[in-house]
A and B are shown apart, each in its own frame.
Chain A
Amino acid sequence: MSLAEIAEASGLPARTIRFYIARGLLSGPVKGGRNAAYTAEHVAQLEGIKRLQAAGHTLSEIVRILGGRPSEEEPETVPDAALWQQYTIAEDVVVWARAGGSPWRTKQLRAAVKEFAQRVGPEKNGREGE
């Protein structure tokens, strides 16, 4: 399914879908470049986002919910989604790492991600997200 097709299927504008991907609400396409494709899983994720929005949740809360972390009572006083880094290792592999750690820990994690990327996929699309 192309971006235009998933936009049609979900009733959401393509620009909104790209915005959701950048916000970490939605996974990126399963292939890169001109073969970029979206699946039924993406449609289901978008439906979930719409339902959570209808329930009164903000996008940042939905990021936390879908990321498996509990919604916080006082989000401004705790680390939030913006403090996480997402590494898309391959079309089917994503690694999340907590940002803001000590320099040695950050270096150690990056090295590990790099090593892992070399093992599981030829492409290294490292990307920062929430």
Chain B
Amino acid sequence: MRLAMQRLWLTGQVLPVGGRLVVQHVFRSDEDRPLEVIYSFPLPRDAALRAFRITGEGFEAHSELKQTEEAVKAYEQGIADGSLAALARQYGDGLVNLTVGNVRPKETVTVYLEILAGVELRDDGFRFRFPFTLAPAYHARMRTAVVAGEGEMELPADEFGDLILPRFREDASSLHEVGFELSLHQLAIDELGSPSHSIKVKRDAAGPTRVALAPAKDVPNRDLVLDVRFTESKVRVLAGPSGNGARPFAAVVPSTLFGQKTGSPRRVVMLLDRSGSMQGEPIAQARKAIEACLAALSEEDRFGLMVFDNHVEAMHPALVAATREERECARTFLKSVNARGGTELAAGVQQAARVLGSDGDILIITDGQVSGTEKILAVTRGTEIRVSCLGIGSASQDRFLSLLARETGGVSRFVTARERVDMTAVDLFASMGRPVASGLKGSGNVQPEPPRAVFAGTPVLLYGEMDQSSEHVELTWDGGRLDLDVPSGDAEIGEAVRLLRGARLITDWESRYPSEEAVAPLEKRQRSRVAARLVELSKENGLASREMSLVAVVKRAGDRPGELPETRVVALGMPQDTSFRAYFGGPAKQILAAASYSNKLTDAVEAALQRSGTRFSRPRVRLQTDAYIAPPQPLCSRLPPSVASDASASNAGLVDLAAMLEPDGGMPGDDSDVRAARTIAAVFAFVVEGHTLTKGAFRLHVARLAGFLKSLSAVSEAEKRLIERALDAASAGNVAAGEWLVLALGSGTRWKNIEAVLK
């Protein structure tokens, strides 16, 4: 098969706050006429394009940053002149078209595109994610079809302009090859792993750690995901001189430095995405995760449970107390939830916000496969409710979900469909609702604004700029302060930090750019405050945005003006674990959205259609649902398979256990002895897997179990000693090995069984 794009290779540096990346795209024409190749990709989180270099036999050229209209004009003039031309242009939802035109017959052209991208920060490390494919995403007015076995998707031009999406293939094995080789800088790494790819790691004490794809090549059907865990959770500040005499800095402050959370009652709505693309393991895991999360609530807490596809369904029209009956009701409700339909996320958030009223949290569990995200962000901002997001998927919607959480003051996590969704959900839930700090302010020209609140497990990232003589940045919050030492650093780090900060600011502003406004004619856009700010930020930082694009034209001997190049759109692999049929399964008319339909055909066209035998029928809204999801692979890819498999199995047991907690915090049982004994065993079962009162995903559950044990009064001296041992274990994290999970789950476990193991 002749491929217009043959290779995509990711290289570059990853710092603790983001990556400075270079993506190599190799295009080749095996045709007997010039080609115009269009490659589409999504931007990672907090990302922006900086520049590209285009090379081939006997030439090399660098891109220029121009206002988008000018860039398009320059590109078109280059094509008309018969010259090689390349254009990198950004559209809504962070989608990019890289177009390279007039690639001559039998010629190979390489484009090296520099991209700045953020990372998902955690107290003890970070997750780096880079898209090798693009997820098809639901839009109420999308049009889909299957052509020669490939899925085709079109988005409305009034929102997405002339964006061209790739065709999607179920089997990516015959598409272009992908791979990566990255170096990790400024990091003392304890663990490094990838749940998405096989990697080889080269660690050098004196230099950066290098990580590369282990096989020679891979296929474009999923994101690259790298997990980095630091040797130590501590404040990290990167800084260095930049060209303008200032010193940009980036500071990562772990949440543990802000103190403990308060114990006020929580108000939370769990909002589950039941759209067709969630079918299979993701929705099964999400159901279990919600049950486990609800078990972490006490009777003083109030909760709501909603699911959405094209419609929103609620367990109850108002918040309810987390009693045994209501949790049972939630369990029954969840059993009836299967995956189907579209992803009307904004409607879900609006309904959840209405139920919460003026205060509370929403936890969304979704694959985020939705288009028109700027509109959703606007709706969500309007609710003034905090939203936390748990994303699930092999192809990145990370940019959208991280924005959704950040813009509302929440936190987000994004896992692959082959990791344990339920564990991450429980961990995220434990930090929601009770911020460890709020009212943050920083000295040193901190921009963007610090987050409204800090949550356990997620550090604060501050970007700023200070003069060369300053050595400290002061961070204050309600009831606390911290002095951060800023190193003098080197120019390379300073430049990287300056660019990453610019990419973050551009991402934030673009999320406030309504889609229709962004594709309006230039005269109208010139009146837009957001457009003006984007142009300003692009020029200041030398980065592309929706208003500024990258273009290069290479004039060469033998250019043939006026020759029409043949357009080729690079196909991509359907994201691993997303069913092809969820988007492209049925007859095209059945998966069209009703809103796109109009009967206003001109007589001539209508007559032509009737002559051709086309029958008109109003399209249906529902997506096809029968899907296939591959079995999940072990979560801990850095561990040997047998260990990883055991870890996954024990985590599954803990999720089941967590879901069993009674509203008073104890385990269920026929009498008080059984309840007490099973509760002690449950504490040990969590502690033996590393979960204590303050650590691990199940810290809330351990706290509730400990609370129940403390409330017990009518017990013997021997039983009191067992309770104290359990409480000590919950605090200190030490416990003797034993079949604690089996005892905790066993309905007949009694005091003597616990004593027998401890002896």
Contact at A22–B589, with CB atoms within 8 Å?
no
Chain A stretch 8-35: residues in CB contact (< 8 A) with chain B: 12-16, 18-19, 21-23, 28-29, 32-35
- Residue contacts A-B, CB under 8 angstroms, 12 given: A2-B80, A22-B568, A23-B567, A48-B604, A52-B601, A56-B143, A58-B144, A60-B152, A71-B612, A75-B587, A76-B149, A83-B148
Query: Which of the 9-residue segments B5-13, B452-460, B480-488, B558-566 touches chain A?
Result: B558-566
- The reply on B609 being an interface residue by CB < 8 A is yes
Chain B stretch 501-537: residues in CB contact (< 8 A) with chain A: none
Contact at A127–B613, with CB atoms within 8 Å?
no
Contact at A54–B600, with CB atoms within 8 Å?
yes
- Known A-B contacts A3-B80, A71-B614; the reply to A48 vs B605 at CB < 8 A is yes
Contact at A22–B566, with CB atoms within 8 Å?
yes
Chain B stretch 571-598: residues in CB contact (< 8 A) with chain A: 584, 587-589, 592, 596-598
- Residues in A neighbouring B33, C-beta threshold 8 A: 127
Mask: chain B, 132-158; 1 = CB below 8 Å from A; 0 = not? 000000000001111111001010000
Closest partner residue, chain A, to B600 (CB atom): A54
Rounded to whole angstroms, the CA-CA distance of A74 and B145 in the bound complex is 10
Contact at B76–A14, with CB atoms within 8 Å?
yes
Checking B148, B564, B596 against A18 with a beta-carbon cut-off of 8 angstroms, the contacting residue is B564
Closest 10 CB pairs of A and B: A70-B613, A34-B562, A22-B567, A82-B148, A76-B146, A58-B145, A13-B162, A34-B561, A56-B597, A71-B614
- Known A-B contacts A14-B76, A58-B152; the reply to A36 vs B605 at CB < 8 A is no
- The reply on A81 being an interface residue by CB < 8 A is yes
Mask: chain B, 298-317; 1 = CB below 8 Å from A; 0 = not? 00000000000000000000
- Known A-B contacts A22-B566, A33-B560, A65-B614; the reply to A55 vs B588 at CB < 8 A is no
Rounded to whole angstroms, the CA-CA distance of A43 and B619 in the bound complex is 29
Contact at A21–B564, with CB atoms within 8 Å?
yes
- The reply on A59 being an interface residue by CB < 8 A is yes
- Residues in A neighbouring B235, C-beta threshold 8 A: none
Residues of B within 8 A of A (CB): 33, 36, 38, 72, 76, 79-80, 99, 143-149, 152, 154, 161-162, 164, 560-569, 584, 587-589, 592, 596-602, 604-605, 608-609, 612-615, 619
Closest partner residue, chain A, to B73 (CB atom): A4
Rounded to whole angstroms, the CA-CA distance of A32 and B561 in the bound complex is 10
Contact at B567–A33, with CB atoms within 8 Å?
no
Taking chain A's interface residues, is the majority helix, strand, or loop, or is none over half, making it mixed? helix
Tell me how far the C-beta of A6 lies from the nearest C-beta in chain B, rounded to whole angstroms: 12
Closest partner residue, chain B, to A16 (CB atom): B162
Rounded to whole angstroms, the CA-CA distance of A87 and B568 in the bound complex is 18
- Known A-B contacts A4-B80, A70-B612, A73-B587; the reply to A80 vs B148 at CB < 8 A is yes
Tell me how far the C-beta of A13 lies from the nearest C-beta in chain B, rounded to whole angstroms: 4
- Residues in A neighbouring B614, C-beta threshold 8 A: 65, 70-71
Rounded to whole angstroms, the CA-CA distance of A15 and B602 in the bound complex is 26
Checking B146, B567, B592, B601 against A19 with a beta-carbon cut-off of 8 angstroms, the contacting residue is B567
Tell me how far the C-beta of A19 lies from the nearest C-beta in chain B, rounded to whole angstroms: 5
Contact at B588–A59, with CB atoms within 8 Å?
no
Q: A3-B564, A60-B588 are in contact. List 5 more A-B contacts (CB 8 A).
A: A18-B36, A18-B564, A58-B143, A58-B154, A82-B148
Counting chain A CB atoms within 10 Å of each CB, the highest count among B76, B566, B588 belongs to B588
Rounded to whole angstroms, the CA-CA distance of A32 and B560 in the bound complex is 11
Rounded to whole angstroms, the CA-CA distance of A51 and B612 in the bound complex is 16
- The reply on A68 being an interface residue by CB < 8 A is yes
Checking B162, B566, B619 against A56 with a beta-carbon cut-off of 8 angstroms, the contacting residue is B619
- Residues in A neighbouring B584, C-beta threshold 8 A: 76
Checking A3, A53, A75, A83 against B588 with a beta-carbon cut-off of 8 angstroms, the contacting residue is A75
- Residues in A neighbouring B561, C-beta threshold 8 A: 33-34
Tell me how far the C-beta of A91 lies from the nearest C-beta in chain B, rounded to whole angstroms: 12
Chain A stretch 37-66: residues in CB contact (< 8 A) with chain B: 48, 51-61, 64-66
Closest partner residue, chain B, to A58 (CB atom): B145
Contact at B79–A14, with CB atoms within 8 Å?
yes
Rounded to whole angstroms, the CA-CA distance of A82 and B167 in the bound complex is 13
Closest partner residue, chain A, to B142 (CB atom): A58
Contact at B145–A68, with CB atoms within 8 Å?
no
Checking B560, B564, B566, B588 against A58 with a beta-carbon cut-off of 8 angstroms, the contacting residue is B588
- Residues in A neighbouring B602, C-beta threshold 8 A: 51
Total chain A interface residues with beta-carbon distance under 8 A: 48
Rounded to whole angstroms, the CA-CA distance of A81 and B164 in the bound complex is 19
Rounded to whole angstroms, the CA-CA distance of A21 and B132 in the bound complex is 28
Contact at B592–A81, with CB atoms within 8 Å?
no
Rounded to whole angstroms, the CA-CA distance of A18 and B562 in the bound complex is 12
Rounded to whole angstroms, the CA-CA distance of A1 and B32 in the bound complex is 26
- Known A-B contacts A56-B598, A75-B145, A80-B148; the reply to A65 vs B608 at CB < 8 A is yes
- Residues in B neighbouring A3, C-beta threshold 8 A: 76, 80, 564
Rounded to whole angstroms, the CA-CA distance of A22 and B79 in the bound complex is 16
- Residues in A neighbouring B99, C-beta threshold 8 A: 15
Rounded to whole angstroms, the CA-CA distance of A58 and B596 in the bound complex is 11
Contact at A81–B605, with CB atoms within 8 Å?
no
Rounded to whole angstroms, the CA-CA distance of A54 and B604 in the bound complex is 15
Checking B148, B161, B566, B592 against A127 with a beta-carbon cut-off of 8 angstroms, the contacting residue is B566
- Residues in A neighbouring B605, C-beta threshold 8 A: 48, 51-52, 55
Rounded to whole angstroms, the CA-CA distance of A69 and B79 in the bound complex is 34
- Known A-B contacts A55-B597, A55-B599, A127-B566; the reply to A15 vs B162 at CB < 8 A is yes
Tell me how far the C-beta of B621 lies from the nearest C-beta in chain A, rounded to whole angstroms: 12
Contact at B80–A18, with CB atoms within 8 Å?
no
- Residues in A neighbouring B601, C-beta threshold 8 A: 51-52, 55
Contact at B80–A13, with CB atoms within 8 Å?
no
Checking A60, A65, A80 against B612 with a beta-carbon cut-off of 8 angstroms, the contacting residue is A65
Rounded to whole angstroms, the CA-CA distance of A21 and B565 in the bound complex is 10
- Residues in B neighbouring A83, C-beta threshold 8 A: 148
Closest partner residue, chain B, to A73 (CB atom): B587
Contact at A56–B146, with CB atoms within 8 Å?
no
- Residues in B neighbouring A74, C-beta threshold 8 A: 587
Rounded to whole angstroms, the CA-CA distance of A61 and B598 in the bound complex is 16
Contact at B145–A28, with CB atoms within 8 Å?
no
Tell me how far the C-beta of A3 lies from the nearest C-beta in chain B, rounded to whole angstroms: 7
Contact at B564–A36, with CB atoms within 8 Å?
yes
- Residues in A neighbouring B149, C-beta threshold 8 A: 76
Tell me how far the C-beta of B149 lies from the nearest C-beta in chain A, rounded to whole angstroms: 7
